[in-house]
Amino acid sequence: ISDEMAQHLTRSGDKIHVDDHFRTALPGIYAGGDCVAPGQDLTVQAVQHGKLAAMAIHNDIQSKVEAA
């Protein structure tokens, strides 16, 4: 994302706020791993966040298709 768009992200320090499905404040932008979670930089945690975000993206797209 551009620097201009990044200014619209909600943050606490260097961490980006996301909802339970890893959605950021920017529509269509998801984040996970060490940029959202405090603590250690764990690959396993980042992979899990990616999996959960992918499921949320799929569900978001599916709900838009069904609504059309």
Q: Strand, helix or coil at 12?
A: strand
- More confident: 12 or 37: 12
Q: Tell me the longest C-alpha to C-alpha distance in the chain.
A: 42
List the Cα angle 47/50/3 in 5-degree steps: 120
pTM above 0.85, yes or no: no
pLDDT digits (tens, 9 = 90+) for 13-22: 889 999 999 9
Residues 24-59: tens digit of each pLDDT: 999 999 998 888 877 666 788 888 889 999 999 999
